[in-house]
Structure 1
Amino acid sequence: MTRARTRAKDLDSPFRGVRTATVADDLEALCRAYAARMPTTQYFSHTTGALLWEIPLPRRLEVEPLLHVSSDAGSQPPRMRGIVGHRGATTAARTRHNGLSVAAPCDAWCQTAGLLTLDEAIIAGDRLVGWPRPLSTLDDLGRAITAFGARPGARRIAVARTWIRERSASARESRLRLVTLRAGFPEAELNGPIALSSGRNTHGDLVYRRYKVLLEYDGEQHRLDGHQFATDVNRLNDLSEDGWIVIRVGKRMTDLEVLERLERALRSRDWTR
Structure 2
Amino acid sequence: MPAPARVPHCLTSLPLRGSSAVSGGLLTWTMLRGPTWVRLLPDVYLHRDAHRDDDHRMWCDAVALRLPPGAALAGRSAAWLLGVDLLARGDPVTVLLPNAARLRPHPRLSIVRSPLPGADRGEFAGLPVTTPLRTAFDLGRQGARAEALVAVDALLRRRVVELPALRAYAADRPGWPGTSLLREVLALAEPSSESPMETRLRLLLLDAGLGPLTAQHKMRHGGRFLARVDLAWPALRIAVEYDGDHHRERTQFRRDVARLNALRFAGWIVLRFTADDVLRHPDATVALVCQAVAERRTPAPPR
TM-score (norm 2): 0.74
1:219 aligned residue? 244
1:21 to 30, 47, 56: 47
Do the aligned partners of residues 100 and 198 (structure 1) sit closer, same or farther apart at CA in structure 2, a change above 3 Å counting? farther
Give the distance between the partners of 2:125 and 2:298, measured in 1 at CA: 48
Greater displacement, 252-261 / 134-143: 252-261
Q: How many angstroms does 1:186 deviate by?
A: 2.7
**CA deviation vs aligned residue, 1:85-129 (integer Å, no higher than 9, x gap):** 645422753444466432123312333455412232222222222
2:15 aligned residue? none
Provide the secondary structure at the position in 2 that maps to 1:243.
Answer: coil
1:241 and 2:241 are equivalent in the alignment:
no
Q: How many angstroms does 1:226 deviate by?
A: 1.7
User: Matches of residues 103-114 of structure 1 in structure 2 within 5 Å?
Assistant: 103-113=130-140
1:146 aligned residue? 171
Do the aligned partners of residues 197 and 94 (structure 1) sit closer, same or farther apart at CA in structure 2, a change above 3 Å counting? farther
* 8 Å CA contact 2:140, 2:152 repeated in 1: no
User: Matches of residues 158-173 of structure 1 in structure 2 within 5 Å?
Assistant: 158-173=183-198
* 8 Å CA contact 1:55, 1:124 repeated in 2: no
* 8 Å CA contact 1:106, 1:144 repeated in 2: yes
1:45 and 2:74 are equivalent in the alignment:
yes
Report how many aligned residue pairs link the two structures.
263
Higher relative contact order structure (alpha carbons within 8 Å, sequence separation ≥ 6)? 1
TM-score (norm 1): 0.81
1:56 to 86, 98, 101: 86
* 8 Å CA contact 2:68, 2:103 repeated in 1: no
**CA deviation vs aligned residue, 1:31-80 (integer Å, no higher than 9, x gap):** 022335657744211343244443536x5xx6443541446x9xx63523
2:146 aligned residue? 119
1:34 aligned residue? 63
Q: How many angstroms does 1:200 deviate by?
A: 4.7
1:262 aligned residue? 289
* 8 Å CA contact 1:191, 1:204 repeated in 2: yes
Unmatched runs of 5 consecutive residues or more in structure 1: none
Report the identity percentage.
24
* 8 Å CA contact 2:140, 2:185 repeated in 1: no
Which structure is larger by alpha-carbon Rg, 1 or 2? 2
Q: CA RMSD in A?
A: 3.0
Do the aligned partners of residues 65 and 138 (structure 1) sit closer, same or farther apart at CA in structure 2, a change above 3 Å counting? closer
1:12 and 2:12 are equivalent in the alignment:
no
Q: How many angstroms does 1:264 deviate by?
A: 2.6
